[in-house]
Structure formats: structure tokens, C-alpha cells
Structure 1
Amino acid sequence: MQIHASLEGPEIHAYILPSYDEHLNHEVAPSDQRLQYLTGFTGTKAFAAITQKGAALWVESRYLQQADGELDCDWELFRVNDSITIADWLDDQLHPDKRVGADPHLVPHYLWVKWENHLKDKFLVLTKINNNLIDLIWGEERPESLNMTIQVWERSYAGEKWEDKILELRQKLYYHKCDAMIVTSLTEIAYLLNVRGRDIPYTPVVKSYLIVSHQDIFFYVDRLKMTLGLNWHLRTDCFNEMCVKIKEYHQVWSDMRTYSQIWKRVLVPARCVQEPGASEAIFSAFPLKIIYEHISPVILMRAQKNSVEQDGMRTAHVRDGAAICEAISNLEMRFFTEQWTEEKIKFEVERSRLSQNHAKGLSMRTVVAYGEHSSYPYYISSNVTDVEVTDQSFLVIESGGQYYEGTTDVSRTFLFGQPTPEMKQSYTMVLAGILRLAHLKFPSNLRLSEVDALVRSPIWESMSDYPQATGHGIGSYNAVEEPPISVAYGQESHFHFKEGYFFSSESGYYKPGEYGVRLKNVLEVKDTQRGHPSGATFLAFHDVTLVPYEPKLIDGTLLSALEKRWLNEYNAKIRELVGDELKRQGNMQAFYWMMNKTRHIREYLPEEEYRAATGTGNRSRAFLTIIVPAILLGLTVFGSFLRWLL
């Protein structure tokens, strides 16, 4: 392998390469796809380690099958968080006291410290290599950086002037007694300055850095991306504390060294849920004594959407619902006259979404998983893993879009044949959890992990579980995964829901090697204007996603009358909002398909029908679907009340 030639110097005996770029994005621009160039692996969140003797790659579970097909025989393949870590593998490859190199620009500070300690335990030394070895090898073959012009995100969509956001950030810096902050997250810069771009896939951001002090705002970006409209928007022609000074992208490094001689305390972003914080290179640019490592204040500012953003998110989801109705109605109409594969269906879903008004792109890699693939919770479809789709098993589609008004993320499960009773039971259990969470009213001091139990309870009743988190925050024409919200039991978090937050609600059931069911909606957090005895307020969730469920997969005997009423109300909302949008578009095929999928479900069965449909065992299950969630919710609220008393 060519990279071995770069390891022959006296200093470095191994090299670690993450799939991140300098801003620690998971999805990166073609010019930053270093790991893909080295290994051939096209997934994300991966790490490679190379020595003179061998090479290894660590990927997430969902990418194992894909990586196995894309790597050649030179590579060993491991799963992230497996028993064999990078340090373990390097210990087997190297003698003690050898140096392991890595580019500090591509490694989060927290991860660098972790690697450093693990390698130290193996008597190995982690060393900073600022000149990236892959870039040296890549040479002229490396793709050119994209020079897409920056788009102003108008106030009619943002709902707030960027100047007001900067003032709020400065107030928070004053509270933390900091002279300045270095903003490294592209999604935070996009939010603060009300700008959007196309520099990386799936997230409308601009590759840049931002330094905000009490006197200055420095925007480090390729000047070729600037326009007259953007200069006017950012007030670049004036010289007071509310004018943005434009500097070349690479100048941030010399400026950090210069200002570190002036500032007494600078806020450097720490890790927060999905955000990895700043890179090791950023931390190394400042003297340790002036660094204040703290969660970026922008995270909490951005999470709570203003009224304009809230309206925009609802509008985006109406359009997105119309897109899914169009795609699946076309698929059903043509299913038995054409041959379909996962990749072909993916193309159809993406085409329908991108044809919508104000659609700006996808928000994530579209997941289309059929049959056994649907039983893998983290499966990502690709040309390597593509299979034919028939009417014999479940088809899971997880996808999302970027619109001027907002960002979407939705999962639905389909079946084009006839379901077995087991299939209907599996689907209905997942649906029950989604319905219960969408109608939860709760005190604002409720822990995130306590919300999780309500969604999982129907799955737990079958002595099963799903491995992924139940929910995460979502941006407004920004990142599809946005901190600080992450809903997962067993995960400690000191964050709470607030009015104006949007987050995904996801549930799943996976029968290993056979099939899987996954449903996901985006929920909005609203204030009920009612007080809780603890002094907190009562909040409520409202569905924003407007995509029909599959009625033939729903076993009504496993839902309570209240849950069926909730489902009917949800269907009525789809008929009203998505129906109007489809008629406005003149898409009557999708309209009639949607009307059929949202037909009314009887909330109560006559006693004779109920007995015939359920039998004694299923009556007990139906009883449990009402009692168990009530007990869980009661315990949750009671626990919050006890914490208030104590």
C-alpha cells in the first residue's frame, strides 16, 4: 500500500485516520473524503489504522456488510466499540515506545485525549502530524474544493436577525466571563449568521470558522463564495462591533495564535451529544490557561425555534408528506409490473422529494431496507448490498429532506403483499409506542430517559427491545440531528424539553435474520399554559410529520380505543393538510392513495367481534396495552414530583 512509504521516516510507525473533516462532520465534501480514498469505504463514522505490517478499519454495525464488500483483502475489519480497539490492534502491531501519528485537525479533542490515554497504557505515544499524510499522497488526484456561493437565509424564514443572535451570544460570553468564542461547528455558524451553503452533503452549511468577541466578528471563509448580497447582509463595509470582518479560511490559525496573547479567557466548544466539540488542533492553538471548555451556548439558542421557524417546520412537513405519498403511490401502482430493488426505490423516493416546492436537497442518506436487511437496525443500502424487493416481507424506508422552511426526517414500513398475524402484531406494537408519545403531556422538568420508557413499553411487553435511541433534536433548514436532545433510556442527560423544540420520535421491532419494523415522526414541543405542583409547566407533544401509516398492518385489537381515536385524529390531519397540498399540485393519484391509507378505524368493536378477534390471550394483551403505559407514566410523573419535594 502506498501509504506505507510515508511511514518510513524515523518518527512515525503507525497512522490513524478518521473519516471526519476539519469541522468534525460525519458527511464530508469530496475533497475531504480521505478515508474513502485510502480504503474504498464509502460510509461514515469510521477510523482506519495503518502500520508497516497491516491495516485495519473500524465501522459502525450498520456499515459492516457494506464495508466487507468495499474493502480489499489488505484490510482487517472491526466494529466500533468492539472488544478489539484501535489501541489493542496497534499494540499487537508495534513494539513498545513507538509513535502513532494522527492529524489533530481531524480528531475531536475528547477523542484525542481518549486515544492518548489508551495508547499510553500500551506504552505507545500519540503524536500530532499537522501535514496530513493522505493529502500528500492524494496530490493532484484530490478533487477541487467546492466554490458554491453562500446563500442568505432571509429573515422571513429565520424569524430573527443575525445581529440579535450575536448580541445574545455576547451576553452569554459575558456571563461565562469570556473574552471571545471560536465557533467551529458549521451548523452553528449557519444559524448565527443566517447563511446557508452547499459545501457538504445533506446539511446546507458553509465551510468556515467564526470568532465572536465583544468587539469583533471574524468570518473565515473562501472569499470566492462571497456575493454583493452577502456583503450587504453581513454589513462588511463598516467597522463597528456589529460588522462582520471577512478573512480567508486559513487565516483562522494565525489569528488564534495572535489573539491568544490578548484574550484572558476564550470559550472553546466541548462535546455535547451529537456535536463532538472542537478539534485537538483548535485546543492546541490556545494556551491551556486561557481555555474555557464548555458546551457551545449556540446549541441551546438554536434548539428553541422561534414562531417563524415553528411555522416553517410545519410547512416543510406538509410538503414532505406530499412527497412520500407521491412516491409510494407510484411504487404501489407499478409494483407488480416492474422489477424493484432497494436502490431503485431509493431513487424514486428521492426524486419525489426533490421535486417539491422549495426543496433544497436531502437531509440524510436514504435508507431502503427489505426483508432480512430490514432486521438490521442500522442498515444502510448501497450498490454493494442491493437486493430485489418483492411482496413477501417488510420494506423499511427512512429518509428526510431539506426545505427553505425546515428539515424533515421520517420512517415508514410497508408491505406489498398480505401480512401474517405476527407481522401485524409487530407493526402495531411499534405504532402504539409512537402514538402514546405523540399525545404525552408532562412536566417540563421530566428527564429525557423517562420519556423513552413510554415508547418502548409495547416492545418490552413482547420481551424485546430496539438498540437505537428513541429520539434526537432536529434543525430548521439545518442538521437532521441537532443537540441537545437525545432520548434514550440509560443515557444520563441534564437537558430538558422546552417549548419550540423539535425532535424525532422513533420506535422499532427487529426479528433477527427475518424482518424489521421502524416508524419515526418529528414532534413539536408545545406549552400547555398549565402549571405543575413542582413549579414546572406542563408541556405537550404534537405530531409534525404527516405521512400515513399502513392500515392493513394494524391489528385494531391490540390498540386501546383511545389509541385508535388518536390514530383517526392523525389521519384526519393528514387528509386536511396533505390532501390540500396534493390537490393544489394536481396530484390526484397520490391524493386518492392517501385518502385510502387514512380511512377511519372503528374505535370500539362489538363484543362478539372482539371476542372472535382476540381470544382470551389477546384480551390480556389488549388490557396490558392500556394498563402498562398508564403505570409507567404515573411512575414517571410521580418520580418528578418526588424530586420536587426532596
Structure 2
Amino acid sequence: MSTHAARLAALREQLARQSLDGFVVPLTDEHMSEYVGAYAQRLGWLTGFEGSAGTAVVLSAEAAIFTDGRYTLQVREQVSPDHWAYVPVPQTSVAEWLAEHAPDGARIGYDPWLHTRAWVEEAARALADRGATLVAVSTNPVDAVWNDRPAPSTAPLTAYPDALAGRSSADKRHEIAGWLAERRADAVVLSALDSIAWALNIRGLDVESTPVALSYAIVHADATADFYVDAAKLGDEVRRHLGNAVRVHDRLAFAPALAGLAGKRVVADPERAVAAIFDALDAGGATIVAQREPVVLAKAIKNVAEVAGHEAAQLRDAGAMIRFLKWIEAAGSAGTETELTAAAKLRAFREETGELRDLSFSTISATGPHGAIPHYRVTEESSLPIERGQLFLIDSGGQYLDGTTDITRVVPIGEPTAEMRDRFTRVLKGHIAIATAMFPEGTTGGQIDGFARRPLWEAGLDFPHGTGHGIGAYLAVHEGPQRIAAPNYPGGGPAEPLRAGMMLSNEPGYYKAGEYGIRIENLILVEPREIAGADRAMLGFRTLTFVPIERDLIAADLLTEAERAWVDAYHAEVLDRVGPTLDVEHRAWLAAKCAPLA
């Protein structure tokens, strides 16, 4: 029996001991995080799936794993079809599947610290139609059989400098207090780790690639806060930074504190606070104000210091990327490198800046057919040699104290085919359409998502993910609420107007299963646009990433005159900005890559 088959069998035995007929295993933690610490990687431990989004349902006689279009190929490579059914989302939700597959009268367990209240209500309704019941567990059955489960991180916290944050924590807490006063609320629960890090100007090392600390916070209408964290993480410098207005408690004291808010009007975010938080507030007699917590939007709109820090990080990161692209162009053709060695080389170039704190996510180093897996993660077992005739896709980013980066480039190893050039150029046309878009205030990212898809749609093509996500300031590489994604694509969701100061990615792509993948990703900043004679306030994007786009993959005859001008102007700015930071050899290489299109 394979390792994962044995784990599935052990979980079923544990479910029987807990009088459960099934259990739902999401890929998240108590903070509804996208990337989670090793202790919370329950889905990966159980199934072998290494993607960053997914859910499993285990019943006594069958099991299913739910993933979106980004992982259609990956889940089939990593999860055995002998034991798991593959279910696509959003076409089929977990609740809908349970309504069809749960036995009549079944007791289906869930961990209330790993689901939102909305999910619980949806699943409970679906099961009720089958005469089945959703049961909250006090002991997660996966944890009960995961004998070598890692402990949560004990890494120390650090204070984040006000000069980089652009505002003090006291200033931010007073803004939150004003927001609470407007709503006649007494307190707000912050459970999203990046919200806590932003509000208190702290950073941590508890989650790979995201500089946050496992903690909770309650901010009150008097601008004080209660901070729930492992005290061993706090040195004297951090305690001085937090000050007397931030009271420190053990992390385990958080749930009892919620039960002690009787008679208070407490804001809890339905999207970010788990069901257990709502349950504890209800049980304690608090009046719950269910709405998005105020840090989400404030964090998304970057201030002058955050933008300046990001620009500095981008310039530094661009130098590392350019060194890597020159290296892979030669080394890839030599046939001596693999996906793993390429990823390691790029990390080494970033580390040589002396400023890298971490990668902002696991590098997607993908050659040939692996490039067609949008969120591929290379391992020792999966790593392929980089060979001539392939497209090599590298999607990567760095965490620097002054900013978070994310960039994707594609390199032809040898001579690309006419089809590769056609598809690449259509993706480029969509990228340019987003980069040059102008739109009235109040426009959502979903409304302009189609701009990036039109050149592909015209050839009967598309890509299975959103066009762009928000990005944090030395925080999460994927940050909401801003996004460029229509509701029917992964990453789509509630409409959020784009606002000046928001940062996003611009990353259309194309993926041919079994052959190659293409994605062109830069980061962009929403800015006001002055248009003579306009009767509406308008916005547009400023590109923040300056790394050449592979000219040998561009079919210039497919570009309009305006698109060609954009490419030439972009490359001229890349050379102007980054060229002076490079040595003679790399500057000459960059100059050739940034030459005007013929």
C-alpha cells in the first residue's frame, strides 16, 4: 500500500472512532491563509497534492479532491486516481458534491477553525436535503493520525520600520478606531495574518514565503489592541515597538477572550474570520457586525513610502532576473540544466543582492509540458531536463524588506515554432491591453479582464486563471481585495473597484497541455489619469516591473503600430532604468534584448 493510501485508510479508521461518516479537509489554516505553515499542510499530507488551493472530502466508501483550472494537470500528476475522484471547481462545489454523494443520515465532520461560516451554512443546507448532518469537531481527525505533524513555528517577530511602512502602528490603529466609531462598534477582530502584520507594523517567519506571524488581534474603539501571540516570539525591541497601547496575551487565550466580549458590538470579517470565531462571539453574547474588516482596503492602497520601497525592490530584483535570463539562454541550450537547477540559480542571483529575505512563493520553474501547468511546483521527482525545442517558463518573486516582487518570463530553448510565436504574441497583446487600459473610477478588475483575453479569444483560445492579483508591501504575494478576474475564472469573486494606489499583477497566459506554457507577468500600479475634456475621473496603470520580454518570441506582424510602440518604449525604459546597475557584459546583453522591434 502506498504512503498516501495508508494515510487515507488511517483517516477512515479515525473517522469511525469519532462516529463520523466523512470529513472535509481544506488547504488553509485558522487564519484562512493561502500559503500555510507546515503544521497546517493537511491536504498535502493526506493526498500528495502540492498546489496552493484545494479541498478533499473523505467518505467511508469514496473520496474526492476539488481543484480549480490552475491545477487540472497538476492534481492528476500528484494524486492517485485509484483512491481519489478529481472534481473541478467552481463547476461543482464541495457542498454540491456532498449533496449527491453523502449517505442518507451521514454525519460529516468539519473543523470550525478551517472554514468560514458561509461555507458551514451552505454545506449544512446541502446535507440536510439528504437527511445528513454537518458536525463540528473539537479534534481534527487528520491531526489525530498525522503522527509526525510539525509543530507551529516559534520564529521570532521583528518590528517593521515606520519609514518603510509609511505610517506608524499608532496612526493605523487610530484610523481603525475612527472606522469603528462610524459603525458604532466597540472592536474588530483581525485574524488574517497580513492584516495583523500591517496594523501593528510587525513581520514574522511563521509561513514560508510570507513574512507574517501566527497570531490574532482585537483592535478597540479607543485605538488600543489586544495581541494574541506566543510570548517567546517577542523580544524587548518588539515589545518597545508595540508600546503600552498593545496588550500582549498568549495565543491560546484568544478563543476565551472572544467569549468574554458580552454586550459588545464586534466586527468580524465573514470572508477572513473562521466559523469558530463567529461561534465564540455568539456564545459569549457579543453582537456581531459581519462585514469586511477595515485593514483589508487600507492595506491594499499603498502610500508614497510603500510605492517607493516597491520601486527600489523592483530595480534590485530586475538586475537578478536579467542575470538569470542571460544565464539560462546559454545554459539551457547546452542541455546541462534542469528545472531544479534553474530555480536554484535564480535564487542565488537574488541572494547575491544581499537584500533577499525569502522568495515570495515557490518558484515555478517549468520546461516543456510542465509549463502548461500554471501553478507547477518542481520537486526532485518531477524535475525535467531543459532541452532544445522547448519553452522554459519561470514565474518567481522575492521578498525584500522594502517590497514584494512577482514576475514571469518565457525563454525559448533553441528555435521556437511559428505556433509558439503566435501564441506568445497573442498573450503579449493582451498584456499590453491591460498595461495601457484607461477606465473610470468605480471600474472593477473583472470588467477589464476580457481586455487580456480578446487576442486569444479571436483564435478560439483562453487561459484558465485570472489576469491579475493584488500584491502586498513586504507581505503576501497574493493580496485582496483587488484583482483582475471575471467571476467565472479562478481568482474571480465579489466585484471590487480599482483605486489609485492599488498594486496588481498583469499576467495573461496560454497553456497547451503536454507541450508548453506561456505567461507574461509584470506588476502594475493604479494611478489617476488626466484626460483633456474628460467628464469622468479616470484611472490607468503604471508598469512597475522592468525586465525584457523575449523578442525572439514576438511575431511583430501580429502587433498593431501602437503595440509595437509600447514594446519599444517599454524596452527603452528597461535599459534606461536597469542598465546602469549592471556590469559591462550584462549591460551589452540587455541592450541587444531591448533593441527596437524590426
User: What is the TM-score with the length of structure 1 in the denominator?
Assistant: 0.85
Equivalent position amino acid for 2:465 in 1: Q
**Residue 71 (structure 1) shift:** 4.2
Q: What residue number does 1:371 align with?
A: 368
For 1:561-587, what per-residue CA distance to the aligned partner results, in whole angstroms no more than 9, with x for missing partners?
Answer: 22222222211211122112224xxxx
How far residue 367 of structure 1 moved from its aligned partner, in angstroms, is 1.2
- Residue 466 of structure 2 contacts residue 484 of structure 2 at CA under 8 Å; is this kept in 1? yes
Match of 2:144 among 136, 146, 161: 136
Pair 561,286 (structure 1): closer, same or farther in 2 beyond 3 Å: same
Distance (whole Å) between structure 1 residues aligned to residue 466 and residue 270 of structure 2 = 22
SS in 2 for 1:104: coil
- Does residue 126 (structure 1) correspond to residue 134 (structure 2)? The answer is yes
Q: Which stretch of the first structure deviates more once superposed, 539-548 or 217-226? A: 539-548
Say if 1:101 and 1:489 are closer, same or farther in 2 by CA, change over 3 A: closer
- Cα offset, 1:381, TM superposition: 3.5
Equivalent in 586, 591, 596 of residue 595 of structure 1: 591
Is 1:234 the counterpart of 2:242? The answer is yes
Contact 1:27 1:200 in 2 (8 A): yes
Partners of 1:545 and 1:332 lie apart in 2 by 20
Alpha-carbon shift at residue 531 of structure 1 (Å): 7.6
Q: CA separation of 1:573/1:94 partners in 2, compared to 1, >3 Å: closer, same or farther?
A: closer
Identity score, percent: 30
The DSSP-based 3-state class of the residue aligned with 1:453 is helix
1:112 aligns with 2:120: yes
CA-CA distance at 1:247 after TM superposition: 0.2
Q: How does 1:556-567 map to 2 (within 5 A)?
A: 556-567=556-567
Q: Which residue of 1 aligns with 2:553?
A: 553
Offset from partner CA, 1:319-352 (integer Å, 9 cap, x none): 1111111112122232343422222222222222
How far apart in 1 are the matches of 2:387 and 2:399? Answer: 30
1:250 is paired with a residue of what secondary structure? helix
The aligned residue for residue 256 of structure 1 is 258
Deviation at 1:11, TM superposition (A): 3.6
Q: Among residues 245, 248, 256, which one is paired with 1:246 in the alignment?
A: 248
Report what 1:521 is aligned to. Answer: 522
2:510 maps to: 509
* Contact map agreement 1:199 1:205 (CA 8 A) in 2: yes
Q: Report what 2:162 is aligned to.
A: 155
Cα distance in 1, alignment partners of residues 28 and 459 from structure 2: 39
Moved more, 349-358 or 55-64: 55-64
Once the two structures are TM-superposed, the CA of residue 220 in structure 1 deviates from its matched residue by 0.3
The equivalent of 2:297 in structure 1 is 300
Q: What displacement does 1:4 show?
A: 2.8
User: 1:146 aligned to 141, 144, 153, which one?
Assistant: 153
CA deviation profile, 1:524-572 (whole Å, cap 9, x unmatched): 12223558754x4222211101110111111222222222222222112
TM alignment of 1:45-444, pairs within 5 A? 45-71=53-79, 75-81=83-89, 86=94, 95-139=103-147, 141-215=148-222, 216-235=224-243, 238=244, 243-259=245-261, 261-263=262-264, 265-271=265-271, 277-287=272-282, 290-444=287-441
Secondary structure of 2:51 counterpart: coil
Quickly say closer, same or farther: Cα 1:56–1:375, change in 2 above 3 A: closer
**Corresponding residue for residue 636 of structure 1:** none
Work out whether residues 66 and 384 of structure 1, in 8 Å CA contact, stay in contact via their aligned partners in 2: no
Quick check: 589-598 or 104-113, which moved more?
A: 589-598
Q: Does structure 1 retain, via aligned residues, the 8 Å contact 2:64–2:87?
A: no
| SS at structure 1 position matched to 2:390 | coil
Partner of 1:5: 13
Distance 2:151 2:444 in 1: 46
| Pairwise CA distance, 1:360 | 1.0
Query: Aligned-pair distance for 1:231?
Result: 0.7
Aligned CA distance change for structure 1 residues 142 and 579 (closer, same or farther; 3 Å): same
Q: Which residue of 2 aligns with 1:497?
A: 498
Aligned residue type for 2:306: E
Q: 1:631 maps to what in 2?
A: none
> Mean Cα displacement is larger for which, 373-382 or 430-439?
373-382
The code of the aligned residue for 2:549 comes to Y
Separation in 2 of the partners of 1:508 and 1:578?
Answer: 25
How far has the Cα of 1:130 moved from its partner?
1.7
**1:116–1:126 Cα contact (<8 Å) kept:** yes
With over 3 angstroms needed to count, the CA separation of the structure-2 counterparts of 1:28 and 1:418, relative to structure 1, is same
Secondary structure at the counterpart of residue 104 of structure 2: coil
Contact 1:319/1:357 (8 A) holds in 2: no
Q: Are 1:24 and 1:107, in contact at CA under 8 Å, matched by a contact in 2?
A: yes
Aligned AA (1:151): T
1:561–1:41 CA distance, 2 compared to 1 (3 A): closer
Structure 1 residues 305, 75: closer, same or farther in 2, change over 3 A? same
Determine whether 1:484 maps to 2:491. Answer: no
What runs of 5+ residues in structure 1 fail to find an aligned partner?
272-276, 603-646
Instruction: Confirm whether residue 29 of structure 1 aligns to residue 37 of structure 2.
Output: yes
Compute the TM-score of the two structures, normalised by the length of structure 2: 0.91
| Residue 317 of structure 1: how far off its partner (Å) | 1.0
Q: SS of 1:340's equivalent? A: coil
One-letter code aligned to 1:425 = D
> Aligned letter for 1:258?
G
2:20 is equivalent to residue 19 of structure 1: no
One-letter code aligned to 1:119? L
Q: 3-state DSSP class of the match of 1:455?
A: helix
Q: Which runs of 5+ in 2 are unaligned?
A: 1-8
CA distance in 1, matches of 2:462, 2:591: 33
Q: Is the 8 A contact 2:103 2:130 kept in 1?
A: no
Shift of 1:76: 1.3
Report the Cα distance in structure 2 between the residues aligned to 1:334 and 1:517, rounded to whole angstroms. Answer: 20
Q: Is the 1:522–1:545 contact (alpha carbons within 8 Å) kept by the matching residues of 2?
A: yes
- Aligned residues: CA RMSD: 2.4
* Post-superposition CA distance 1:289-326 (Å, at most 9, x none): 71111112111111111101011111111111111111
1:638 equivalent in structure 2: none
Letter in structure 1 aligned against 2:124: E
